[in-house]
Structure 1
Amino acid sequence: MNTSGNRYSMSPIHLFFVLYVSLVSVGLMNFQYKMLHGAENDGWISIVLASVIVAVVIKMMYVLLGRQSPIQSTLVHINQRYWGRYVGSIINWIFILYFVLGSFVAFLSYVHIVQLWILPTQNIAVISLAILVLVYYCVAGGIQSVTGLCLWGTLFILLLVFPQIFLVASYLHPRNLLPILDHDASSIWHSTRDMLHEFIGCGILLVVYPFIKTPERSVRWAYAAVITAAVVYLVFFTFTFMFFSHGQMKEHLWPTLSLISIIEMPLIQRMEYLVLSFWLLKMLAIIALGLWAACHCLKLEKSIRPSLGLKIATVLFVILIMVIRNSTQIDMMTEVYMRTGEVLIFIYLPLLFLVSLFRINRGQFAQSTKETPNRTGKGDEK
């Protein structure tokens, strides 16, 4: 149990919102387009398989974290424990850079979509800086501010955006999903691998775990987040493929927005504008969560105050905004992030899990039972 102050902790149910935000990102806008290079209309199989794999990885993370003493159940300490101080520090720096890169990719991808769909002729720099200020303000508030933003980002999408997809039900053609099971295993796996890239955000569990008041009660909420994310992807996949033919899908780089754009409601002519506006809250949560994780890991690794780490990351964001100018560069950064996440989350973490099972622990990291453990570390936790 996390016995640290309530100011730096969260309830088990909050893990649902944190993980859901991490699992459903900007990729929801165009993951269907990627299916055209693999399973196509059988992509629902890939979504199910990817969800099962992620659930298994989350189980591994819980077992790995549960085998640590309360004061050492953090990503930084686990890497140093099993690989030594120097190798562990290198791996920690890789994770820190990975979290920062993930935040920046989400930030840049959202800004790029806004520029394409809403403000094609406007200078996007002002909007970029405004979003960055909001992110800085949220991350500076600490774990509870970030968790609260994840909560509202999840509720806005599930309650206001997700139901809108059902308004196109009368335009769907179920025959577009036929024939079923018409693709070989390699095509299915190709699309499954693409879907796993959408789920690489699950690694945030290794950072937020010490802040959960009763971690053993959070397991069901973690699985609930995976199931909810899978349902959302499945609904958007089936509706999109039932609305567009395969030929039409090739012409729509952002199938989700293209589908939503046909919805007509009183007083609202461009529904995708409303969706992207609501989506900002969710993207703020994703960006803030990644930056907070990087700053927290930096604090544990080098004893650098999170406030200073946040300033450094903000300056880095501003520099990258000025350097990254076109969609090709954005795609390159996204590809680097996806491949790195694939290695860290779906190869390295299972390896770390196996090492934790078979390696004989040398020494005990736990403090005396008379001492009060503080798994979040001493000092400023923001």
Structure 2
Amino acid sequence: MNNSSLQIPEHLLVSSTMVFFLIHSMQVGVGILGFEKYIASAAGYDSWISIILGGIGLHILLWMIYRILQTVDGDIVTVHTFVYGKYIGGGMNFLFSLYYLLLSVTVLRTFIEVIQTWIFPKLPLWLFTLVFVLLVYYYVAGGFRVITGASMAGVLLGLPLLLFKLFPIQYGNVDNVYPSIDHSIVELLASTKFSILSFLGIGLLFVYYPFIKNKQDSKKWAHFGVFYTVLIYLATAIVSFMYFSEKQLDQITWGTISLWKIINFSFVERFEFIGISLWVFVIIPNLCLGLWAASRIPKRMFNIKQRYVLWGYSVILYVTVFFLEDRRAIDRLNSFTGEVGFYFLMYIPVLFLFMLIMKKVRNRNET
């Protein structure tokens, strides 16, 4: 199935290797700063096993996404129109657009809370939010290639900060991470579900797939991106489990930042300030990709300029932040986004099945 409206000009396409950065940059953001507490609440120290289980599931889902997109040679709008028709498919597309916008809201508000908690407790919420939204708007308005460049920069700048987490190993207890397997498979699966918020990035492939130059070659890079993400989360969890007791993990909201506090250089007194400041470059691709995907879908549905939708969604992003004032509201937002994201991932196998059925039906009708 070809969609002429999806013939992206050559100069707007990105190379297949960039898919590695696009996948990974959306998966490693604000979630990795404090995910240890949530996965450990279900399976304790054994929850590092749940990260491996989640990684295996992600590779399977990624394979399904590629099969779905290759069948229609398009994006999520093409897929839903092919499977459900114009009207039901349009409703599903609108839900996907809102979901990507929800991801952006969650990332922005959670990261602002990090800054308020650790650096500027009296930070004017309206001012910082305005600066951040304007910055993200500038990136998204520049086009998908600009966002891809930001994603690459975020991955490269974020890696040294993650490597600094290895410092606490010298103070840790390796016995903590030996697989005792004293938790049931149900508890391990529950722990996997808690970590799902950090792994939602693969879904944006549904939107930017037409912008990939060599789609077949990009498969391996997408899987490399997922593998690298799982490796980073696994190493982060193991270091945290070696250093903190299970009771401490239950009390600590931002495990990664707490470990940054241990790092001590003669010329730097508070390394966590540097870490959080540099983490802005990791968060920006999260917001850009989410907002770009959210605004791209209405452009495809109604054939309007994406910039108009981007204006509206940027205003929504800015205003929504002010309805989330305290930690309890932000925690509820993260829980809600995690639930929605979990069902979004579970929808992928359903869509894969529907796609196979519709393909067989249409092939039978054509013959």
For residue 150 of structure 1, what is the amino acid of its counterpart?
S
Letter in 1 for 2:119: I
Corresponding residue of 1:336: 336
Contact 2:24 2:201 in 1 (8 A): no
Residue ranges of structure 2 left out of the alignment (5+ in a row): none
Q: 1:60 aligns with which of 64, 77, 88?
A: 64
| Counterpart Cα distance in 2 of 1:86 and 1:251 | 48
Distance in 1 of aligned mates of 2:337 and 2:81: 23
Q: Is the 8 A contact 2:196 2:341 kept in 1?
A: no
Deviation at 1:3, TM superposition (A): 6.7
Conserved? CA contact 1:9–1:144, under 8 Å: yes
- Give 1:318 shift: 2.2
**Residue of structure 2 equivalent to 1:11:** 15
**Which SS does the other structure have where 1:57 is aligned?**
helix
- Residue 330 of structure 1 deviates from its aligned partner by 1.7
The ranges of structure 1 where at least 4 consecutive aligned residues each deviate by more than 6 angstroms after the TM superposition are: none
Deviation at 1:196, TM superposition (A): 2.5
Alignment partners' CA distance in 2, 1:176 and 1:216: 42
Q: CA 1:325/1:196 → structure 2, altered by over 3 Å: closer, same or farther?
A: closer
Q: Name the structure 2 match of 1:208.
A: 208
The whole-number CA distance in structure 2 between the counterparts of 1:207 and 1:122 is 35
**Gap runs ≥5 in structure 1:** 365-382
Contact 1:29 1:257 in 2 (8 A): yes
**Where in structure 2 are the equivalents of 1:33-48 lying within 5 Å?**
33-48=37-52
After the TM superposition, which residues 267-306 of structure 1 pair with which residues of structure 2 at under 5 Å, given as runs?
Answer: 267-306=267-306
- Per the alignment, residue 136 of structure 1 pairs with 137
- In the alignment, the residues of structure 2 paired with residue 303 and residue 176 of structure 1 have an alpha-carbon distance, to the nearest angstrom, of 55
Percent of pairs with identical residues: 29
Residues 336 and 304 of structure 1: CA distance in aligned 2, closer, same or farther (over 3 Å):
farther
Residue identity in the other structure for 1:304 = I
Secondary structure, counterpart of 1:38 in structure 2: helix
Verify: 1:259 aligned to 2:259, yes or no: yes
Alignment of 1:14-29 (within 5 A): 14-29=18-33
Measure how far apart 1:40 and its partner are: 1.0
C-alpha distance after superposition, 1:35-62 (max 9, x if no partner): 2321111111100000000100000011
- Confirm or deny that 1:94 pairs with 2:98: no
Pair 1:358 & 2:362 matched: no
Alignment-mate amino acid for residue 350 of structure 1: P
Deviation by residue 1:114-167 (Cα, 9 ceiling, x = unmatched): 100111133232222111111010000010011110000011011x21221122
Q: How far 1:180 moved relative to its partner?
A: 1.9
- Give the 3-state SS of the residue equivalent to 1:137 in structure 2: helix
The range that moved more, 133-142 or 163-172, is 163-172
The AA in structure 2 aligned to 1:165 is: K
Deviation at 1:358, TM superposition (A): 2.4
Identify the residue that residue 80 of structure 1 maps to in structure 2: 81
Post-superposition Cα deviations, 1:16-36, rounded to whole Å, max 9, x if no partner, equal: 111001222211111110123
Q: CA deviation at 1:7?
A: 2.7
Matched, 1:105 2:106: yes
1:342 to partner: Cα distance: 1.3
Distance 2:204 2:265 in 1: 38
Whole-Å separation in 2 of the counterparts to 1:282 and 1:74: 26
Separation of aligned partners in 1, 2:146 and 2:75: 20
Alignment match of 1:31 (pick from 23, 31, 35):
35
Q: Judge conservation of contact 1:3–1:213 (CA < 8 Å) in 2.
A: no
Farther off after superposition, 33-42 or 107-116: 33-42
Partner of 1:379: none
CA distance in 1, matches of 2:321, 2:48: 36
1:242 corresponds to = 242
What does 1:121-200 align with in structure 2 at a 5 Å threshold? Answer: 121-158=122-159, 160-178=160-178, 180-200=180-200
Letter in 2 for 1:133: L
What is the deviation of 1:266?
2.5
Following the alignment from structure 2 to structure 1, what is the Cα–Cα distance between the partners of residues 112 and 268? 22
1:369 aligns with none
Tell me if 1:315 matches 2:315. Answer: yes
Residue 223 (structure 2) pairs with residue 231 (structure 1): no
- TM-score when scaled to structure 2? 0.94
Contact 2:38 2:195 in 1 (8 A): no
| RMSD (Å), alpha carbons | 1.8
Asked if the contact 2:23–2:201 (Cα under 8 Å) also holds between the matched residues in 1, the reply is: yes
In 2, the alpha carbon distance for the partners of 1:118 and 1:20 equals 27
* Structure 1 CA distance for aligned equivalents of residues 285 and 210 of structure 2: 19
SS at match of 1:200: helix
CA distance in 2, matches of 1:321, 1:169: 37
Deviations 1:303-327 (A, max 9, x none): 2211101100111122212332222
Q: Which amino acid is 2:66 matched to?
A: Y
Structure 2 CA distance for partners of 1:361 and 1:279, relative to 1, 3 Å: farther
Q: Which residue of 2 aligns with 1:118?
A: 119
Q: Work out whether residues 7 and 144 of structure 1, in 8 Å CA contact, stay in contact via their aligned partners in 2.
A: no
User: Would the aligned equivalents of 2:29 and 2:198 in 1 still touch at CA under 8 Å?
Assistant: yes
